[in-house]
Amino acid sequence: QQQVKQSPQSLIVQKGGIPIINCAYENTAFDYFPWYQQFPGKGPALLIAIRPDVSEKKEGRFTISFNKSAKQFSLHIMDSQPGDSATYFCAARTASKLTFGTGTRLQVTL
């Protein structure tokens, strides 16, 4: 049972474009929603995170939008760069652990 559904599976955008990755959840007990970034051959690393009482959070070129009533959240990357090419995972936290989405492989072309 996939508790956090992530789409799309892969995404190709041109440099300067704004890729958007979406996640949806069902469990209302989730109380924290981080995004992790993973480069090939490396472990994932925390990119940005949001709590459900906030509708938007920005850190640099990365923005999370959160819609509590729809149980959806999304990651936007402004002015995307080739260095942003990586796999992105959304996640949701319950009391003791994170549940991850299936990942989105992003490629930013020149």
Partner 1 sequence: NAGVTQTPKFRVLKTGQSMTLLCAQDMNHEYMYWYRQDPGMGLRLIHYSVGEGTTAKGEVPDGYNVSRLKKQNFLLGLESAAPSQTSVYFCASSRDRGGSEQYFGPGTRLTVT
Taking the complex as a whole, the smallest distance from the CB of residue 58 to partner 1 amounts, in Å, to 18
Nearer Cβ to partner 1 (1/69): 1
Indicate the helix (H) or strand (E) that contains 66.
strand 62-67
Site for partner 1 in 2-61 (CB under 8 A): 6, 9, 31-32, 34, 41-46, 49
Count the neighbouring beta carbons within 10 Å of the beta carbon of residue 98: 16
Question: Residue 78: helix, strand or coil by DSSP?
Answer: coil
Q: Which residues, 6 or more positions from 34, have their beta carbon under 8 angstroms from its beta carbon?
A: 46, 47, 48, 49, 50, 90, 91, 93, 98
Out of 14, 55, 81, 102, which residue is the one contacting partner 1 (CB under 8 A)?
102
Residue 89 found at the interface with partner 1 (CB under 8 A):
yes
Nearer Cβ to partner 1 (45/78): 45
Nearer Cβ to partner 1 (81/94): 94
Footprint of partner 1 on this chain (CB under 8 A)? Answer: 6, 9, 31-32, 34, 41-46, 49, 89, 93-103
